[in-house]
Amino acid sequence: MNGIAEAKKKGLYKGRKKKEIKDFEEQYDRYKNREIKTKTELAKTLGISRQTLYNLISEYEN
């Protein structure tokens, strides 16, 4: 049995921790108000990938 499987069995393995994105709500509001024109520009402003941005938006809106 490998290390991760053993840790999961013991309830110790939690996976990768989520990166905290500062100012997401503020920057997303700027995007909604057309101060930031594209999602690509928003992702660059936040320092994340577009896919991560789409995931954050999905979580935020639901």
**Residue closest to 52 by CA, chosen among 10, 42, 61, 62:** 42
Q: Is residue 1 part of a domain?
A: no
Q: Is residue 48 part of a domain?
A: yes
Q: Is residue 11 part of a domain?
A: no
Q: Is residue 54 part of a domain?
A: yes
Does the predicted TM-score (pTM) go above 0.75? no
Domain count of the fold of the chain: 1
Q: Is residue 28 part of a domain?
A: yes
Which domain covers residue 25, as residue numbers?
Answer: 19-61
Side chain identity at residue 22, one-letter code: K
Mean pLDDT of the region 8-12: 87
For the segment 27-59, what is each residue's pLDDT rounded down to a tens digit? 999 999 999 999 999 999 999 999 999 999 999
Contacts of 19 (CB under 8 A, 6+ apart): 48
Q: Is residue 10 part of a domain?
A: no
Q: Is residue 2 part of a domain?
A: no
